[in-house]
């Protein structure tokens, strides 16, 4: 009825209630909106704690996020980066990317820390090295279309974009599910796999 998308309404709520430049408060305000107003398929606080723990353990200097959506996961990742680290995030939907860009900058992250790349992941990944300077990713966070997980993992492998000992963190592999990705990760012999049990967001 308002003529604006859920994602834009969430951003208006952030503008009215969140503290600019405070990533933690940005995420808390997002959570309040999603719990009490409208559901958005963000990572959410429960699974967010898993992401935070992995960031703390790995201290990655180069992070790639597939599926920016409206920037919740991007802010979550960016606030846990060690000094001098850089986050590259890819979003296929220009409307979502437009909201995400504003959310990321509202949280206080510059383009030097977080680079948002708009375009389909299968088109962007092959050009990450020469166009964006991402030589190897230490951590990859997958939270886009589940049917793309396996295809994009193989693209990352074929373009040698995974650093030695890189971590792949993939959301919602059990539900809605990415069975082919999960089977490949478990059986190809390249990865040690661990499934984190968590509730759905919100």
- CA 126 vs CA 71, 91, 108: distances in Å: 23, 15, 29
Residue 53: Cβ within 10 Å count: 12
What pLDDT does residue 202 have? 87
Residue 181 burial class via C-beta count within 10 angstroms: exposed 0-12, middle 13-18, buried 19 and up: buried
What residues are paired with 65 via a beta bridge?
Answer: 89, 141
- Report the sign of the C-alpha dihedral through residues 151, 156, 157, 163, in that order: negative
**Which positions are catalytic?**
143, 146, 171-172, 201
Question: Is pLDDT of 199 > 90?
Answer: no
The SS3 call for residue 58 is helix
The angle that helices 94-106 and 72-79 make with each other, rounded to 10 degrees, is 40
Domains and CATH numbers, the chain: 6-188 (3.40.50.150)
Summarised one tens digit per residue, pLDDT across range 119-152 is 999 999 999 999 999 999 999 999 999 999 999 9
Q: b vs e for 61-79, b when ≥16 Cβ sit within 10 Å of the residue's Cβ?
A: bbbbbbbbbbbbbbbbbbb
Full-model pTM: 0.96
Contacts of 84 (CB under 8 A, 6+ apart): 61
CA distances, 76 to each of 42, 73, 109, 112 (Å)? 10, 5, 11, 17
Arithmetic mean of pLDDT, 18-38: 97
* 22-29: average pLDDT: 98
Please give the share of the chain, as a percent, with pLDDT higher than 90: 95
């Amino acid at each position: 009825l308002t003529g604006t998308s859920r994602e834009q309404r969430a951003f208006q709520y952030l503008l009215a209630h969140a503290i600019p430049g405070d990533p933690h408060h940005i995420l808390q305000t997002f959570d309040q909106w999603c719990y009490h107003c409208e559901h958005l398929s963000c990572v959410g606080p429960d699974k967010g704690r898993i992401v935070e723990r992995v960031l703390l353990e790995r201290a990655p200097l180069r992070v790639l996020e597939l599926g920016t959506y409206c920037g919740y996961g991007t802010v979550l990742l960016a606030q846990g980066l060690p000094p001098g680290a850089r986050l590259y995030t890819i979003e296929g939907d220009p409307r979502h990317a437009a909201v995400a860009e504003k959310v990321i900058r509202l949280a206080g992250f510059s383009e030097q820390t977080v680079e948002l790349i708009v375009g389909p992941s299968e088109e962007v990944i092959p050009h990450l090295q020469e166009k964006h300077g991402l030589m190897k990713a230490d951590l990859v966070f997958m939270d886009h279309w589940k049917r793309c997980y396996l295809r994009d993992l193989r693209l990352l492998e074929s373009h040698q974009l995974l650093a030695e000992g890189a971590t792949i963190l993939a959301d919602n592999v059990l539900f809605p599910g990415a069975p082919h990705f999960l089977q490949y990760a478990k059986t190809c012999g390249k990865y040690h796999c661990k499934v984190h049990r968590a509730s759905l967001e919100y």
